[in-house]
A = this chain, B = another copy of it.
Amino acid sequence: MAAPSRKPPTSLSRFLDGDFWEVKEKLREYIEGNELFNLRFDLPLSDYRDVTRERALYLFRLPEIQEQFDEQASSKQNFTNRSLALGELCSATDLSVGIKSGVMAWLFGGVITNLGSEEHIKRWFVPLKELKFTGMFAMSERGHGSNVKGILTQAHYDQDTKQFIINTPCLDAEKIYIGNALQGNYAAVFAQVYVKGQCKGPHCFIVPVRDEQGQLLPGITITDMGLKEGLNGVDNGLVAFDNVRIPRENLLNRFADVSLEGEYVTKITNDNARFNAMLGTMLAPRLALCFQALAATKVGLEIAVKYSLRRRQFGPSEGPEELIMNYQTHQLRLMPCLAMCLGLTFAVRHAGSLLDDALCNQRDLVNERGLQALAAGLKAFCTWESVKTLQTCRESVGGMGYMEENRLPSLKRDADVFVTFEGDNMVMLQQVAKELLTQYSKQFESSRVAAMLSSMTGSFMSSVKTSKFAVTLAPVSSMTFIRKALAFKEDKLLRSLASRLFDKVSTKLEPPFTAWNQCLHHSTTLAWCYIHKVTLEQYMAAVDRCPEERDKEIMMKFCKLYAVHLLYEDRAWFLENNYITAAMAKDLRQEYIKLCAVTREHALEVVEAFRHPSNCVHAPIAGIPSSRAPWAYYPDSDMELTPPQSKL
């Protein structure tokens, strides 16, 4: 079938697409007008799973994606950011497709390339690329979701047969929520390794689950988890192992191995450190999830913005009714979301580059703790923002947003779980805070605790000084001011958190776990501040690199809205800390409202620069005709008939 012709990309769309705009455009051409990708919302569970698989496999076969497999296998420069760009695109078609592909190839594949050897790559990654089989990623258990260190699945080494025996000792040890569980052939299974009766902590194994004909192998039980709120194209299930024997070589042995003779060998002797090294493999999937969340957000915003520029409701006594986009509240609802979503795109891309750099230079991800924390924070920010934005989009188009055919409901449902999986957001924020504390304490070479204490005593004096300094330099809504304000807040919260924890643990002798728990509000506030700040910095840096002057001006307005909105929403803290005055807070509100009106003028251009294929947008209210919901189609803004009484 010939794809409908698409308009050529604009300088703005190329800028928003980033370095890989060309390959993204190619993929869009495959999708535009391709019936396989036309959305359906009324499929029974099994059909929806089948079509999701079919769509994912179609994408895998494309030369651009095949190339990506090769680049991943060889860690070619910039393969992460290229992969993220492709992932964003796959997700825009249907989030189930994005997630299913992610599980089938990238999560399973990523474990192999990150934790496995050359041999493992040959045995499991190359055939994966050749679509000989698909994999799953089996980490979570009934009893342990966020706390993966506590998993109970066991892998006993049997020296006689040189095999590992993978076993589920109790219900709580069953692997749960496992994606592709109803269809996948191999599973990357995390289990506690036991060698000579001694537990060595969690390690990852490749366990065959189904043969090539899809027949379940002995000792393995799979339970279909059925209907979920969303992502129903993905088959999630429980997986249990009844003493399943696998060859010794199926242990992914980059960080630790068990020798033929049953000796446990590892370069990382600390159990915690080794486990964290293995978790390093979550870095890329977390960034991928950011882009998947952004993909959903962008489609949602395109639908809401386009309809809002067509729908009229109420109005002055004379003339046509008013476009709903012209209501101040409407601008305040949608524009900050759009500004945020652009900024996050740049920030995640930046994190992707850092990862590319680390991988290309063969640095161990375990040492990239700053990057780990950044990814965790961006994961929380992008996914929560996505849930919020999609809800706003739904509400801002009124009853039309409630109709399945307008796509917003399914976007909402699918993206909802993003805040939970691949690292629950509340846990992610704590990871950010912990990393900031660690970095902070590293400043003090000798006795950390003493140093922390001494630094504490002076901290509030210095913060007051910074405060005055900041206040006098630049106007409150300037980028300079806001950037400094965030840095000030981060610094102050970090010092005070360190000091509170120290006081609780060292002086009051509270158990560290209790002390930490009592500071959770504090530490999550710190994490937010940090991640807001990094995003702002990367937003500004990206806009600064924008090649076309006109595009740059537009982007600057959105960047400014992001910044002003941030500070406006958080002004209570800055007022409390005497960093801004009441008059400044009021200026901020004016500026915020003004910037929403200013950016509204560019909203259409920006959402069009997302260049979504029309079958991805799907929604009749965004101007895509539909035979299934002709009543929702809004071809243009003119009412058909407006008799005098319509403005009573």
Contacts and interface: CB of A to CB of B under 8 A. Distances in A.
Contacts of A589: 521
Interface in A117-175: 140, 142-147, 149-152, 169-174
Contact of A413 (B192, B409, B420): B409
Given A228-B402, A229-B404, A646-B144, A582 B593 contact: no
Contact of A629 (B147, B152, B202, B226): B226
A197 interface: no
A323 B90 CA distance: 38
Interface string A227-240: 11110000000100
A483 B625 CA distance: 53
Contacts of A170: 640-641
Contact of A631 (B176, B328, B424): B176
A273 to B, nearest CB: 11
Nearest to A514: B316
A463 B185 CA distance: 71
Given A226-B628, A420-B398, A582 B586 contact: no
B327 A520 contact: yes
Contacts of A143: 639-640, 646
Interface stretch (A2-10, A15-23, A77-85, A570-578): A570-578
A229 B585 CA distance: 39
B322 A199 contact: no
Contact of A420 (B327, B395, B419, B641): B395
A379 interface: no
A404 B145 contact: no
Interface in A267-284: 271-272, 275
Interface in A511-560: 511-514, 517-521, 524
Given A229-B409, A398-B424, A152 B643 contact: yes
A314 B146 contact: yes
B640 A172 contact: yes
Given A225-B631, A404-B227, A646-B152, A316 B513 contact: yes
A316 B226 CA distance: 35
A403 B202 CA distance: 27
A150 B582 contact: no
A506 interface: no
Interface in A394-450: 394-395, 398-399, 401-405, 408-409, 412-413, 416-417, 419-421, 424-426
B513 A322 contact: yes
A151 B202 CA distance: 65
A647 interface: yes
A399 B413 contact: no
B648 A275 contact: yes
A321 interface: yes
A261 interface: no
Given A145-B398, A322-B513, A399-B176, A223 B641 contact: no
A387 B402 CA distance: 14
A586 B575 contact: no
B329 A41 contact: no
- How many interface residues does chain A have, given as a range? 35 or more
Given A228-B404, A402-B229, A582 B578 contact: yes
- Number of this chain's copies in the complex: 2
A226 B518 contact: no
A241 interface: no
Contact of A328 (B404, B424, B518, B572): B518
Given A399-B140, A404-B229, A420-B399, A329 B646 contact: no
A480 interface: no
A232 to B, nearest CB: 9
B394 A314 contact: no
Nearest to A314: B147
Interface in A304-320: 313-317
A301 to B, nearest CB: 18
A426 to B, nearest CB: 6
Q: Which of A142, A398, A628 has the most CB of B within 10 A?
A: A398
A466 B8 CA distance: 62
Interface in A612-641: 628-629, 631, 639-641
Contacts of A314: 146-147, 150
Contact of A409 (B173, B228, B238): B228
A416 B399 contact: no
Contacts of A149: 646-648
A402 B426 contact: no
B641 A152 contact: yes
Given A327-B520, A645-B201, A150 B321 contact: yes
A248 to B, nearest CB: 21
Contacts of A512: 316
Given A142-B631, A640-B171, A517 B398 contact: no
Given A147-B321, A641-B170, A225 B176 contact: no
Nearest to A592: B521
B521 A329 contact: yes
A572 B230 CA distance: 37
A330 B430 CA distance: 13
Contacts of A63: none
A399 B177 contact: yes
A326 interface: yes
Nearest to A275: B648
Enumerate the 3 nearest inter-chain pairs by beta-carbon distance, A residue then B residue, closest first.
A229-B409, A572-B572, A316-B513
Given A329-B426, A330-B426, 9 more contacts: A149-B646, A150-B645, A152-B646, A229-B401, A229-B408, A328-B519, A332-B521, A395-B419, A572-B572
10 contacts: A171-B631, A199-B643, A229-B402, A316-B511, A317-B513, A329-B426, A332-B520, A395-B419, A413-B413, A572-B572
